[in-house]
Chains A and B, each alone.
Chain A
Amino acid sequence: MAHQIYSAIADGILGGGVYALMAVGLTLIFGVLDIINIAQGILVIVGGYLSYVLSVHLHIDLFLGLLITIPAMFVLGLIIHTAVIRPLRGSERTSMSLLACFAVAIILEGALYWIFGPNVVTLSASYINASIKVAGFYINDIYVYCFLLAVVLVAAIYLLLYRSKFGRGVRATMQDATAARLIGIDVNRVAALTFGIGVAVTAAGGMAYGATSGGFSPNSGYDLISRLLAIIILGGLGSIGGALVGAIFMITVESLVDIWSPNWAIVVFYAALVIVLTVRPSGLFGRRAVRAQ
């Protein structure tokens, strides 16, 4: 039993890294634009398919392929923001953005069905099914790599937000968009670039999801969005570090409960969210904490 618990904790921490890669973009977009990108799930799948195309048809390594998929998804993010998000105005903007993002999700899913069909595809690489033995249990190589990638990307986004001029503009917009506009910050440009960055990071999430899920298809995004929302709410909406911590916490709790009951594991996943919010309504690293920096 102790062996199973240690293994579950290791799986949870490393698996949390995979989910952090998928959730970081979502929380970043909410933090700046105050919109919940319901299309995040399908964007993860788009990222997965991009990695699939590069890997299967061009034989480019999954991680090297990110040098192509991340910029590509950044451009996709800019397009979505310009065409769908930016035109939204007024007091109903947040609620309308839910519908708009849902429409984007449906369109992207339809496009994926049209291009790739309904059959499941998998990402393959020599390290996907490889593992190393640590303290009597196996740790999967791909999870270690994805966790390290998550740490690197979270650190990179943190540096961008807190050590760059652009980041100051982003944080100013997060705090008060009107005041930011008054001091000369091009809020629309900041919003567009932030949305693009949020979607770009999702490319890494898509690759990680595709490499660790055992297969995905155009409709795989539906399973993801509820989990990702739970993670960013737990971590604190708008908190980049919170997304990583929240993901690790939730996946670890789920892995531990799964030892006794897989069905209760998913219940506890969401119950943990409710419990934390009861104690800390803004999440572990809620917006108040973020803005305080």
Chain B
Amino acid sequence: MRPKRSRRKSGVRFLSVSATTAAAAALVVGCSSSSSTSGSGGGGGTTKSPIVIGASLSLTGDFSADGQAYQQGYQFWASQVNANGGILGRKVQMKILNDNSSPTQVVTNYQTLINSDHAALTFGPFSSLLTAPASSVAHRYGYAFIEGAGGATSVFAQKLNNVFDVSLPVANELDPFTAWIKSLPAGQRPASAAYPMANDPFASPQVQRTQSLLTALGVTTKYSNIFPEEVAAYKAPADDVAATKAQAVVLGSTDVPTVSAFMSAFEQQHYNPTIFIAAAGPDQGSAFTSAVGVKNANGVMVPNAWYPGSTNPLSQAMVKAYVAKYGGSASNINADIAEAYSVGEVADQGLTHIGSVDNAKLISYLHSGVTLTSVQGPVKFNSLGENLSATAYIFQWQNGKFVQVLPAADSGSVKILYPKPNWGS
């Protein structure tokens, strides 16, 4: 009979071998299942398993208001697609992770979505700040990266072939505004302008482009500065802008608090520019008007590629379905919802055309010059992934309503309110 110590050793050895064998078996099973949901395989074609689409969104942090709107947009699109039988006969399942508005966390999230969650497809996050690093991750794994909120030049400067922005390129968003200024008789144009810009890849390019175009028209620059994007740092530049008494203010903003802080400072300084246009913030519907007051919002302009009253049939159907599902009224629908929905629409059309969930084929198809449709209008990508078919619109708050005003010749545009009424009127 073997001594006790020897028997114990044998027992331990048996258990360790068994455990190792079990672990190896699990590894083999795991590998075989992951290979069926790889970036190129995309979930396999032999079963009706759902198509898992991964996205990292800013559910908390600086971009949380937009991030949560995007989450609702993605989920709303998924529910609509599933109600119509899904894509390629398969249901769509959104897998959303929270990046807390952090550029480092968004990278981790997409690695998790691709490697651990085995998402078949990836949708973009909110903001160019996060899209740039996130798209690199997707590119590394051969994933198409369809997104709706990463239109800054810094995103396309990476020259990644997998990035597809369904929305209007950021740099061109204010072009209808400059075109309108140019159309005014010289005596009616603003003589001077101020260009405060938040330190963000979204905010600066369009304002800087506008500044150069307006300067060429003879509009004197009274202020042009980039300020840190934190609430505590808004008052001083806002007061400086007010001190210039510039007739027009083109604010490079990314959110409601920025616009609200500037408007508040302007009112406190008894400064009312005849034109006030912000890059973002006023397009946030009731979130904007509840922050600044409906009367103060009067005359404030903002660029966007979509609005709830759009006559686009796809948009009208989406608005109707959204109101039916979530209640409220069309005017309160955040533009982010439409952007996120457009991302899904483009993915749907692409996957349906290629007949499989294959990222490489999808990338190739989206670069083929095909024109797709979305609630935001036509979508056609250039070699960088920019949607050059997107139309830029300018919207303005008029007596509590968010209306399209530019391009003036567009059938959906109403007369622009110029000069901007005084605060509170």
Report Cα–Cα, A174/B178, bound state, in Å: 63
- Chain A residues positioned under 8 Å from B235 (CB to CB): 11, 15, 212
Interface string of B262-291 (1 = CB under 8 A from A): 111101111000000000000000010011
Q: Are A258 and B240 in contact (CB under 8 A)?
A: yes
* Residues 46 to 85 of chain B near chain A (Cβ within 8 Å): 59-62, 64-65, 67-68
Q: Closest chain A residue to B64 by CB distance? A: A118
* Residues 217 to 269 of chain B near chain A (Cβ within 8 Å): 225-228, 230-237, 239-240, 243, 255-257, 260-265, 267-269
Q: Are B269 and A265 in contact (CB under 8 A)?
A: no
B153 at the interface (CB under 8 A from A): no
Q: How far is the CB of B289 from chain A (nearest CB, A)?
A: 11
Q: Are B264 and A128 in contact (CB under 8 A)?
A: yes
A215 at the interface (CB under 8 A from B): yes
A140 at the interface (CB under 8 A from B): yes
Report Cα–Cα, A153/B379, bound state, in Å: 59
B293 at the interface (CB under 8 A from A): yes
Q: How far is the CB of A161 from chain B (nearest CB, A)?
A: 28
With known contacts A3-B243, A263-B199, A140–B268 Cβ distance under 8 A:
yes
- Chain A residues positioned under 8 Å from B290 (CB to CB): 119, 121-122
With known contacts A214-B234, A215-B257, A266-B228, A120–B291 Cβ distance under 8 A:
yes
With known contacts A15-B235, A120-B256, A219–B240 Cβ distance under 8 A:
no
Partner of B232, one of A119, A120, A130, A224: A224
A4 at the interface (CB under 8 A from B): yes
Partner of A214, one of B199, B236, B261: B261
Report Cα–Cα, A214/B255, bound state, in Å: 12
A147 at the interface (CB under 8 A from B): no
With known contacts A113-B60, A219-B60, A219-B62, A213–B231 Cβ distance under 8 A:
yes
Q: Are A254 and B60 in contact (CB under 8 A)?
A: no
Determine which residue in B228, B232, B261, B423 has the highest number of CB atoms from chain A within 10 A of its CB, and name it. B232
Q: Are B287 and A119 in contact (CB under 8 A)?
A: yes
- Chain B residues positioned under 8 Å from A7 (CB to CB): 239, 243
Partner of A120, one of B236, B260, B265: B260
- Chain B residues positioned under 8 Å from A259 (CB to CB): 240
A227 at the interface (CB under 8 A from B): yes
Q: Closest chain A residue to B242 by CB distance? A: A138
Count, chain B residues at interface, CB 8 A:
44
* Residues 106 to 128 of chain A near chain B (Cβ within 8 Å): 109, 113, 117-122, 124, 128
Q: Are B257 and A120 in contact (CB under 8 A)?
A: yes
- Chain A residues positioned under 8 Å from B291 (CB to CB): 120-122, 214-215
Q: Closest chain B residue to A129 by CB distance? A: B267
With known contacts A118-B64, A214-B257, A217-B64, A254–B269 Cβ distance under 8 A:
no
Report Cα–Cα, A119/B255, bound state, in Å: 10
- Chain B residues positioned under 8 Å from A263 (CB to CB): 199, 225-228
Q: Closest chain B residue to A140 by CB distance? A: B268
Report Cα–Cα, A235/B256, bound state, in Å: 33
Report Cα–Cα, A11/B287, bound state, in Å: 28
A216 at the interface (CB under 8 A from B): yes
Interface string of B93-111 (1 = CB under 8 A from A): 0000000010000000000
* Residues 257 to 286 of chain A near chain B (Cβ within 8 Å): 258-259, 261-263, 265-266
Q: Are A262 and B60 in contact (CB under 8 A)?
A: no
- Chain B residues positioned under 8 Å from A215 (CB to CB): 231, 256-257, 260-261, 291
Interface string of A218-262 (1 = CB under 8 A from B): 111001100100000000000000000000000000110011011
Q: Closest chain B residue to A214 by CB distance? A: B261
Q: Closest chain B residue to A256 by CB distance? A: B236
- Chain A residues positioned under 8 Å from B261 (CB to CB): 213-215
Q: Are B64 and A113 in contact (CB under 8 A)?
A: yes
A82 at the interface (CB under 8 A from B): no
Q: Are B60 and A4 in contact (CB under 8 A)?
A: no
Q: Are A213 and B257 in contact (CB under 8 A)?
A: yes
Partner of B61, one of A117, A121, A219, A255: A219
Determine which residue in A215, A217, A220, A227 has the highest number of CB atoms from chain B within 10 A of its CB, and name it. A215
Residues of B within 8 A of A (CB): 59-62, 64-65, 67-68, 101, 199, 225-228, 230-237, 239-240, 243, 255-257, 260-265, 267-270, 287, 290-293, 423
Residues of A within 8 A of B (CB): 3-4, 7-8, 11, 15, 109, 113, 117-122, 124, 128-131, 138, 140, 212-220, 223-224, 227, 254-255, 258-259, 261-263, 265-266
Closest 3 CB pairs of A and B: A214-B261, A262-B227, A118-B64
21 contacts between A and B (CB under 8 A): A11-B236, A15-B235, A113-B64, A118-B59, A121-B291, A122-B290, A122-B291, A131-B270, A138-B270, A214-B234, A214-B265, A214-B291, A215-B231, A215-B256, A215-B260, A218-B60, A219-B64, A254-B233, A258-B237, A258-B240, A266-B230
